[in-house]
Structure 1
Amino acid sequence: MACHYAQTDVIWDPAYTPDELLSIQEAIPEVSHFGKFLIYTHGDYDHIVGRPYFEGFTQIGSDLMEVRQDKSRSLAQLRAIDDEYYIDRSVSLRYPELDMLIRPETQSEYRLGGIDIKFYAAQGHTVDGLFSLLPELGLLVAGDYLSNVEFPFIEDTIGHYHESMDTAKKILKECKVETMVPGHGTIAYTTKEILNRIDHSTRYLDSLVVPDIVDWRISWGYSPFESFLDKMHQKNIDYVRSHKI
């Protein structure tokens, strides 16, 4: 996701292949009078891959991303995917060193160059997640939430995930969101569609805490990526049972 507005450039989680990343580079003006910023919605491998391609950008993420204990795992996953799919990069992969730490519980509103951005904690998928809201543009960048192709993947807690869904509802009440960009899946352009995705996610989360967990197709709905989601559904079940969340 890239945004050029008010002589400022902001990108979120640029990915994934070298050609894709180079095309994002080329789309950004050489001169941005009020600065260039790279925001990480969280620190999973597929969201940090763009780090070495955007030197000179102010690197931004949550304070909890800075202290993640599994940074080496994220890099190992990234290298394993590159090996599996024969992706040859001309850059050295490394975990981001953040220039600006976002602490949404103490300060949610920031001005990045010429753009006002509000950040909200978005936990549940991971502990270090962020929602980014650009009120002037009616734009919400949701990271790995509110997808229409994958149900919630839980690596934190169901309770935190529910809180993130409540946060999304709160944002919709406080601001007219005309565009919501998830990390995976298609963009939502209406409040009705965003609320529908919140409802889908909530139904799926609720299905994981009952004695007889149903097939994800019943609790969440259709996705074309069934084989992968079968594995992720079982992973969620195992995680919830082992962590008693």
Structure 2
Amino acid sequence: MFSEITSGVFSVNHGTVDGKNGIIIGSRGAVAIDSGLHPEEGRMMAEFIGAHHHPPEYLIFTHGHSDHIFGSAAFQGAEVFSHLSTPTVIAKQIATWTKRTGIAAAQLRSSVTHPTVTFVDNMRLNLGDKHLRLFWTPGHSCDSTCVYVEEDRILFAGDTVVTGIVPALWDGDSREMEHSLRTLALMDIDVLVPGHGPLLRGAATVREWLTWLVDYLVAIRESVSMSLKDGYDPESAVNAASFQEFAAGRLPENKHNMIRRHRDTVRNIFEEELQRTQPQPILSATYARVAPLGDHVRFS
């Protein structure tokens, strides 16, 4: 379950679609990155941190989706870092799971350790001999965050980057994801820990995969744009953009419901492009920008 990438930096497997969490242990403290879907997954992470002589008092959420937050009960009372939008995403996830499972919202809410420190664009955590940069990478979700271990050039990408499945947009946006992926491709990354799938090692390997993800999104967008021009309905557009054409040879079609996932991504991009062809309202809401927190958070 725990794999040491380099001294003090661990990837942590969890059971949702070959999921990956993380733990970074520094001279001043230890931080968990995501907690999985099930309480026992988060509990094992907290115990692992304790076995390395640190209390489980710091947690980062890469975003607020269920398979990243619902294992967090073992971190109750911890300082939890996330993007400013993550509390809202968590609230929506709780409402969704209440409808799906019948579990009371209050019970689900109390089982999640909620963010206590949020940021807008980026923030930095000082663990002593490890420095982490958290930065906003929207696309998979509006609150998606990546965590970069500066000394080791290791990126924990959350679901901004996946290597075992096609990119998932869900409540996100493909153009924002494309921009985030292009930004990551400009970074010095020696090891990339995805939200789901195997680790990538070597700067060239990382950059090549990020480039392919961008190409995949762009190619699907071009396909659905042509379908819209030809008057296709959503299902016809999805059928016209087959998995075999866009992802065969990159990902196994018989694993993790891959064909369905690909079709969902095509469908989401179709809806995005359809919305862009609709007349826009004259008036739109104006959103205030909240100033980010200070650059450094130092652990005592």
TM range (shorter): 0.7 to 0.9
**Residue of structure 2 in register with 1:88 after alignment:** none
Structure with greater Cα Rg:
2
TM-superposed CA distance for 1:178, in Å, is 2.5
What is the aligned partner in structure 1 of residue 269 from structure 2?
A: 240
Supply the RMSD in Å over aligned alpha carbons.
2.7
In structure 2, the CA distance between the partners of 1:24 and 1:227, relative to structure 1 (3 Å rule), is closer
> 1:89 maps to what in 2?
none
Deviations 1:138-191 (A, max 9, x none): 22110013322111111322210111111101222xxxx322111111111211
TM-score (normalised: structure 2): 0.67
C-alpha displacement of 1:39:
0.4
1:110 to 101, 124, 130: 124
Question: What is the TM-score with the length of structure 1 in the denominator?
Answer: 0.81
| C-alpha contact (below 8 Å) 1:207/1:214 kept by paired residues | no
| Aligned 1:90-239 pairs, distance under 5 A | 92-94=107-109, 95-104=112-121, 108-114=122-128, 115-154=130-169, 155-172=171-188, 177-209=189-221, 210=223, 211=226, 213-220=240-247, 221-223=250-252, 225-226=254-255, 228-239=257-268
Tell me, in whole angstroms, the C-alpha distance in 2 between the residues paired with 1:49 and 1:78.
Answer: 13
User: Quick one: percent identity of the two aligned structures?
Assistant: 17
Name which of 63, 68, 72 aligns with 1:42. Answer: 63
User: For residues 52-107 of structure 1, what are the alpha-carbon distances to aligned partners after superposition, in whole Å with 9 as ceiling and x for unaligned?
Assistant: 12123211100121333x72334533885899xxxxxxxx5325421110221xxx
Could you report, residue by residue, the CA deviation over 1:105-126 in whole angstroms, capped at 9, with x for unpaired residues?
Answer: xxx3423443422122111111
Q: Which among 47, 71, 76 is matched to residue 55 of structure 1?
A: 76
Partner Cα separation in structure 1 for residue 256 and residue 30 of structure 2: 38
1:147–1:197: 8 Å Cα contact kept in structure 2? no
Partner SS, residue 132 of structure 2: strand
* Structure 1, unaligned runs of 5 or more: 84-91
Which residue is equivalent to 1:4? 25
Letter in 1 for 2:208: N
Moved more, 16-25 or 49-58: 16-25
